[in-house]
Amino acid sequence: MTVDQLAVVVAEDHPLYRRALTTLLGGQPGWAVVAEAEDGVGAVTAAHATQPDVVVMDLRLPGLDGIEATRRIVAASPHIAVLVLTMYDDDASVFEAMRAGARGYLLKGADQAEIVRAVASVASGEAIFGSPVARRIIEFFAAPRPAAVPDLVFPELTAREREVLDLLAAGHSNAELAAVLVLSSKTVRNHVSNIFTKLHVADRSAAIVRAREAGLGLQGGPR
């Protein structure tokens, strides 16, 4: 396979934008859009059936979202490159997509030439990020990491659970926790649930009260 001969699947729920992408990519010499999908299940099915070189994937798809669709496609066919093309540039979406196996992440404001270059790049094995997303990634890794929480504070918790509790007490949402700690949303939810159980509290507010009484969450609120 070379970038002169590419098979592409377009997964996008907006009909006009999907058609525009299909026209753009299918109009490149040697490229063919072998399937279109309007939801996540359709994207997974199309990728399995056609084994394309690239799937261009929106994140907010009906039913199965683009993150889970990406995860399933890459798990079943690691040779398929997934390029996320979405309007969402928040940390949680970017890092969830990366963890799911996406090779690239562009925003829908990208021009046609940038989209074509990105498809060619991920097909060649490169990782590609649009300028706004790249800046967010650089800022994320340049930001100070949360200070370690001493083991003496809530010894019944694991080190990771104490770190999660410290950030909860500082006012971070679950999505922000996932981005800051580079964890999946499900893993964050599991940690929070375990914290509630171990601290014998009923909800987030009670856990935050306990944490702040112990001196956690005092290093600053959400970034």
Mind listing the pLDDT tens digit for each residue in 143-152? 665 555 556 6
CB 179, CB 143: distance < 8 Å = no
Find the mean pLDDT for residues 11-32.
96
In sequence order, what are the beta bridge partners of 56?
A: 10, 83
Task: State the Cα–Cα distance between residues 53 and 79, nearest whole angstrom.
Answer: 7
Residue 65 has pLDDT above 90, yes or no: yes
What does the block give as tokens for 106? 């562009």
Which pTM value belongs to this model? 0.65
Q: What is the per-residue pLDDT for 113? A: 95
**107: confidence class by pLDDT, cuts 50, 70, 90:** very high
* Domains of the chain, start order: 6-140 (3.40.50.2300), 159-213 (1.10.10.10)
Averaged confidence pLDDT in the chain: 86
H or E, element range at 104: strand 104-107
Mean pLDDT on 171-175? 85
